[in-house]
Structure 1
């Protein structure tokens, strides 16, 4: 009799374990489906092509976070403005889920649409900020928007809580773009974003990136930016293609110590010259 009771208990235990295994498998499949949907959403909302602009070279690299449910909302964009200048944007939505990926699409589309109303970077970020707040989402985003004249190299930049860009010149000098910036998009109504003016020298490069490239448990943001500054300086001095620099920068994301989205947008200006 004791032996029969033990067998009955064992069968019940095995059945319970089988049920738990099946439930875990279903959850894993559902999670994987969510991740795949978010990645497809990300890829579908990012630009398929970059504009071809005489005198400029553009390159991007994008590595989505896709381990577990850690899917974020980094984006990049580059497009021609009505006055012949080029709009450049990069950003990062708070959160790592399918909602963040969807919100990313709203932010990028809003920036691009409003850029045809006003291409002035500070006003553009302010309008986008108010638009996002009117949507009632609890998410927010950091972003940088730049307006570049491909003929003169004149560059106007505004930041909304985003990490600064990196510049380098043909003689190998390089550094972090010095601008004040403002708060992230979607946090407070009526915010003003200061505009900083620079010049992208002939033969120089500009690197826009998200924090997944330069910051994490294993890498402090200052060290990560220093790494990109060195890479940009060497690339500009050696006259490397912008695609090679973008690939080198995104490769550095492996050293940050966590799985996060990572986006890089590199702009190079043809010719030779000096000055940031």
Structure 2
């Protein structure tokens, strides 16, 4: 086969130029596709968060990654939209933050204020040369280029996103602005979702607390209780506690946990607690009998889910007190002696409520000296996926022993603050202390 004649030089030049143009277009399309993929991943990352502080910081770090910025910040507008109520900087070192400690939070002046009052996208290649620049406070790292866009939530300006100094030294371009604007749109949706979640969770927590009782006057005993909602996105819980003085001068205490994390669980908790209080007043019988009657009543007239509970009576004696308790599948109480020693009152737990009302539950008894403390709690205080239940119970007992001399309110607060659980479940703690003298 004879070799082909070479193309004329001018034709070859045109073909080479066309090839370069097509290659450049393909390269540009590939970059655009890659950036689109990065933007989609960024939107998904932001929209997957529910905690508002986490969402706000994630917006800044994501925008910085998308355009390769060295610094970023998000300013949240105050209610009057005249300044900033919150400012979240990213990229500034701890030393730089310490150097600006006396300056305080930005008040929304200069270029920050310009974007507040003129929420159109703002790009500048040299910050000090901008007519609205007000300079940097002492200790502030120098910044040259700026890209700022407003973030709207439900049509109202929520705040402004600021990016400064690309890592490659180039000024921010139109493509950077387009990408950050697209991210700001997704950020507005994510912020709205996080705010709605906070409102729902706050309302649910308030509803849950309204269902729980204020402890009555239990003299001569002292008592304290605390409830903590789950940190995980469970809206409601079924944990409850109660304590009441009975006509026979015994102090009745109960802590329980209805299975579930929804409105039904909270309603079932309230119904179970109220029914149990009525049974306690009506029957001066051992705790096991009260639990059995409660189980039968719940089975007959409700469709409540399974629940665990520990019911106890602290009964007066001639020179001491006696703790009598019965458990419906619940964790054992923790006894703290007057000298600070701790002991779990392990005993046969019995079946949870709602499993088999015909099965009896045993009663247990233990003498209590003057000044003894009994702590009842739900499993949210100690459950952790990385610890065995025995390890968590030991950690809780160690914390209780180290703070045994505290007043009961402070003791419950400490146990809740330093709990060995992972926070995925709500928790309730009830502590009762016998008088210092028999």
Q: TM-score under structure 2 normalisation?
A: 0.53
Give the root-mean-square deviation of aligned CA atoms. 2.7
**Structure showing greater relative contact order (alpha-carbon pairs closer than 8 Å, 6 or more residues apart):** 1
Residue in 1 that maps onto 2:400: 232
Where structure 1 has 5 or more consecutive residues not aligned to the other structure, the ranges are 1-19
Residue in 2 that maps onto 1:97: 262
1:1-276 equivalences in 2 (<5 Å): 35-54=201-220, 56-65=221-230, 67-119=232-284, 120-137=286-303, 139-150=305-316, 152-236=320-404, 239-253=405-419, 255-271=420-436
Equivalent pair of 2:251/2:313 in contact (CA under 8 Å): yes
Distance 1:157 1:200 in 2: 13
Distance 1:138 1:114 in 2: 17
Please state whether the residue corresponding to 2:282 is helix, strand or coil: coil
Shift of residue 160 of structure 1? 0.2
Equivalent pair of 2:204/2:235 in contact (CA under 8 Å): no
Shift of residue 235 of structure 1? 3.5
Shift of residue 36 of structure 1? 4.4
Please state whether the residue corresponding to 1:149 is helix, strand or coil: strand
Mark the structure with the bigger radius of gyration. 2
1:167-205 residue CA offsets vs partner (Å, 9 max, x unmatched): 021223221002212111111121211100112211221
Equivalent pair of 2:218/2:251 in contact (CA under 8 Å): no
Equivalent pair of 2:253/2:312 in contact (CA under 8 Å): yes
Shift of residue 248 of structure 1? 1.5
Q: Which moved more, 1:255-264 or 1:120-129?
A: 255-264
Equivalent pair of 2:241/2:428 in contact (CA under 8 Å): yes
Distance 1:171 1:136 in 2: 45
1:95-145 residue CA offsets vs partner (Å, 9 max, x unmatched): 111111111001111110111122420000001111111234251110000
Q: TM-score under structure 1 normalisation?
A: 0.81
Please state whether the residue corresponding to 1:116 is helix, strand or coil: helix
Q: Which moved more, 1:85-94 or 1:257-266?
A: 257-266
